[in-house]
Amino acid sequence: MSNESVLEEHHLEFREMAREFATKRLDGVGTKIDLADGRIPDEIMAEMGRLGFFGLTLPEAYGGLGQDLTSMCVVTEELAAAGLTFGSVIHRNSVCGELLARSGTEEQKQRFLPGLASGELQSSSSGTEPEAGSDAANIKTRAVRDGDHYVLNGSKQWTTNADRAGVLFTYVRTSDESKHHGISLLMVEKEPGEQFVPPTLTGTHLPTAGYHGMHSYSLYFSDHRVPVANLVGGVEGQGFRQLMKGYESARITFAFRCIGLARAAYESAKRHTAEREQFGQSLDRFQAVRFRLADMATQIEAARALGLMAARGFDSGRRVDLEAGMAKLFAAEMAHKVAWDALYLHGGAGYAIEADVNRHWRDSGLLPIGEGTSDIQREVIARRLLDAAR
């Protein structure tokens, strides 16, 4: 890989550790999970926890490693190259944990952050609803205070990792006075598993075409009670602001999930075209194939350079919503195209569902949609470039 000049020694060390783990422990695991629509095995999750991946960017005072976002990015790419969900699962805890570290009360930090950092406590972010997707503030799930509890009613969609989670970071409406300022964030506790907390909290698994390894759920709240002590920050109406503050880092790390997937698809295509012979020579001797591979490699390097620029800017303390939007947009669109090109270069062999490249192609369909659609990123970019100048 290039782009070495912006990486410091500790970044290289984390990258090598993640690469070694992926090579030794994850090889072939992604395919098995994919074909069974299974979950990442418990032993793999435990090893990730021991290596510090779940708490990589969380404060040392609460059991994390206190590393910068660039470290998370290089780790993410290596894990995502072995399987998209391997590079994604660690971000449930880092995103929720960073939010809690930034906005939670001291009691909440002491109670939840050590478990999130070790991975022993898994989390999930629950914001999306039937009418609240790209319009993140259009939340209808309601929380009404009743003494020292909130009573929740409503539904959520696409809550990923909800079965494994012991705490659901759930965005709810506590006031109708303002669309944005009427949203609060509650930590809904549950035992890990698909049983949830019947009858007041139930869940339905949503089967997907790809992205297997973590399951997504529709959740249903019916007079479900949550302690007031689990209101993040202890003040109502802060939920939307708390959500927005995490978008920059979330979109940058999402870009590196895209880069890892694209790299795996490209490397698969490169191997296949070197080994497959037609008309008396390997496929990679044909100009059309060589040019396609050249474009794929160039796009991956460009996405990585853009992502690292955004990550280093974030680590320096600058506002990088523009760069984060660009990195996520470019990397997601790039990975979707690279995965298709890789499948195309495999010919009929790539259309077989058990082929790794087929998994990459199906997984890539999520990328221009998740963590803010491509058009949402274009709006973020355009607003910063054009509207700010008026």
Could you read off the pLDDT of 273-313 as tens digits, one per residue?
Answer: 999 999 999 999 999 999 999 999 999 999 999 999 999 99
Confidence of residue 134 (pLDDT cuts 50, 70, 90): confident
CATH of 123-237, one of 2.40.110.10, 3.30.1330.10, 3.40.50.2300, 1.10.287.130: 2.40.110.10
- Its CATH class, for the domain covering 246-389, is mainly alpha
The pair of structure tokens assigned to 74 is 């290089």
Is pLDDT at 8 greater than 50 in this prediction?
yes
CA dist., res. 293 & res. 295, Å (int): 5
pLDDT at 1 over 50: no
Q: Max Cα separation, the chain?
A: 79
Give ranges for CATH 1.20.140.10 in the chain. 246-389
Given pLDDT bands bounded at 50, 70 and 90, which one contains residue 197? very high
Over residues 116-135, the mean pLDDT reads 94
Residues of the chain with CATH 2.40.110.10: 123-237
Q: Phi and psi (nearest 5°) for 136?
A: -65, -20
What are the residues whose beta carbons fall under 8 Å from the beta carbon of 112, sequence distance 6 or more? 97, 100, 104, 121, 167, 187
The predicted pLDDT at position 279 comes to 96
The predicted structure's pLDDT at residue 135? 86
Residues 44-49, mean pLDDT to the nearest whole number: 98
Mean pLDDT of the residues in the chain: 96
**From-to residues of CATH 1.10.540.10 in the chain:** 4-118
Average pLDDT over residues 190-194: 95
The pLDDT assigned to 388 comes to 66
DSSP state at residue 171: E
Q: What is the CATH number of domain 4-118?
A: 1.10.540.10
Active site residues: 371
Q: How confident is the model at residue 133 (pLDDT cuts 50, 70, 90)?
A: confident
Exposed, middle or buried, 84 (CB in 10 Å: 0-12/13-18/19+)? buried
